Chains A and B, each alone.
Chain A
Amino acid sequence: MRLLFGSVFAFAIAAAIGLGATWIALTRGTAYGGVTIGVWTAWPKSGTPGIDPYARAMVARTGELPVGSGDGVAFYARNDDAGQALDGRCDVLMGGITPQARFWTITLYDPEGRLVANSVQRQGFTSQEIIRKSDGSFEIVVGPRARPGNWLPTGGVERYVLVLRLYDTPIGVATRTGRDAPMPSITKRACL
């Protein structure tokens, strides 16, 4: 009787801990081997055969295809520089310069990776479209209301993710610090 009770107890714990840990690991995006520069994180190893098992499971669950390492690398930002989650009801200023790359794109998604609907059908910018200042740096206002210059509409969604993709770039598995890869800053301004 005691044996039965004990093993049921142990199996219940095993199931709760094991499945719970898997669920958390796959939904929170905690794959290993990430390169974090400021608020931006990329997983360049996910675009190689050396992808770690957690990233593989995550890719299988979400149905996305990682960017191949010979193609480029994708950096994700979910927070601003102050550590607050990006809120589509606020104006956020993204500015600065990007690491060396032949082309880059910046795109706004909801947390599940869907594009966000808005009145002007704009979901992002490419490096060719952006209006730059005379020193080559740029500023993008990410916010719910139209702004002059580079305006990336949020459609007023509560949470969103910014993805900066660098194509044909030396940035990759060997990159470690912001000195190799200067990333744009993200600062919150006014909220609605």
Chain B
Amino acid sequence: MIRLALWLLGGLLLGGIVHLATVLMLPRMATQDAYARVSAVAPINAVIPMPPPTPEKAMMPFMDPAFAVSVCRYDLSRGTLKFSVPISPAYTSVSFYTRSDIAYYAINDRAAGRRVIELDLMTTEQRAALPEDQEITAADRLIVTSPTSTGLIVIRALASEPGLMSAARAALAAAQCRPQ
């Protein structure tokens, strides 16, 4: 009886380890995560518009239908990236995600404070390799460091009324992400 209880206890402990291991492994094993879904349609280092979500078809679950969305799947292994987008009439935001869908940085039009959101994207190593004087002269240049060499930039413009959707799309159509 005691032997059985010990086996049971051992099984429970091992179960806890299995649980933690699967939770930690899952992001690495997932084949249908947002990055994989975007990779299926988006070329590297280019901005493409995402189709608006409809009841029949959506790129990802829980997309906000009031927004026009464009995405840039980036790869910094060949060099840094220059990103720019003009702000739309209502609200524009730029969010950065790592290869494993972690949101590591986001900025909106008000925080950017200009008519155009402009920034340089680089890895921590590329940032460290920047000549120091250059960093001083470009003090007003916004530099975002990516924890991974690949990831996603998601650009979103609000159409505060349905009639403003085309204006939001037009603003996003002028977005650029290109290697320097």
- The answer to whether B103 and A66 touch across the interface, beta carbons within 8 angstroms, is yes
A64-B61, A70-B105, A109-B62 as given contacts; A127 in contact with B160, CB under 8 Å? yes
Interface range, A side: 35 or more
- The answer to whether A64 and B7 touch across the interface, beta carbons within 8 angstroms, is no
A124 vs B108: C-alpha distance in the bound complex, in angstroms?
A: 22
B-contacting 9-mer, from A79-87, A112-120, A176-184: A112-120
Provide the main secondary structure of the chain B interface: mixed
- The answer to whether A56 and B100 touch across the interface, beta carbons within 8 angstroms, is yes
The A17-40 residues at the B interface (CB cut-off 8 A) are: 17-19, 21-22, 25-26
Which residues of chain B are near A112, meaning CB under 8 Å?
61
The listed residue with most B CB atoms (<10 A of its CB), out of A71, A113, A117, is A71
B37 to chain A, nearest CB (A): 6
- The answer to whether A60 and B16 touch across the interface, beta carbons within 8 angstroms, is no
Which residues of chain A are near B95, meaning CB under 8 Å?
65, 67-68, 70-71
Which residues of chain A are near B33, meaning CB under 8 Å?
59-61, 63
A163 to chain B, nearest CB (A): 7
Interface string of B96-122 (1 = CB under 8 A from A): 110011111111101100000000000
A88 to chain B, nearest CB (A): 13
Query: Which among B4, B34, B91, B101 is the interface contact of A103 at CB below 8 angstroms?
Result: B91
Which residues of chain B are near A107, meaning CB under 8 Å?
64-66
A60-B33, A63-B34, A115-B65 as given contacts; A10 in contact with B11, CB under 8 Å? yes
A164 to chain B, nearest CB (A): 11
Query: Which among A57, A59, A70, A126 is the interface contact of B160 at CB below 8 angstroms?
Result: A126
Provide the main secondary structure of the chain A interface: mixed
Q: Check: A143 CB closer than 8 A to any chain B CB.
A: no
The B163-178 residues at the A interface (CB cut-off 8 A) are: none
Q: Check: A188 CB closer than 8 A to any chain B CB.
A: no
Q: Check: B53 CB closer than 8 A to any chain A CB.
A: yes
Interface string of B143-162 (1 = CB under 8 A from A): 00001000010101011110
Q: Check: A53 CB closer than 8 A to any chain B CB.
A: yes
- The answer to whether A115 and B54 touch across the interface, beta carbons within 8 angstroms, is yes
- The answer to whether A18 and B17 touch across the interface, beta carbons within 8 angstroms, is yes
Which residues of chain A are near B158, meaning CB under 8 Å?
103, 105, 126, 167
Which residues of chain B are near A62, meaning CB under 8 Å?
61-62
The list of the 9 closest CB pairs from A to B, nearest first, reads A18-B18, A113-B61, A68-B106, A17-B15, A13-B11, A70-B106, A14-B14, A60-B30, A10-B11
Chain B positions near chain A (C-beta within 8 angstroms):
3-4, 7-8, 10-19, 21-24, 26-27, 30, 32-34, 36-37, 53-56, 58, 60-66, 90-91, 93, 95-97, 100-108, 110-111, 147, 152, 154, 156, 158-161
A65-B97, A68-B97, A163-B64 are known contacts; what are 11 more A-B pairs with Cβ within 8 Å? A26-B23, A60-B26, A64-B62, A64-B63, A68-B103, A70-B93, A71-B106, A74-B62, A105-B64, A113-B58, A117-B56
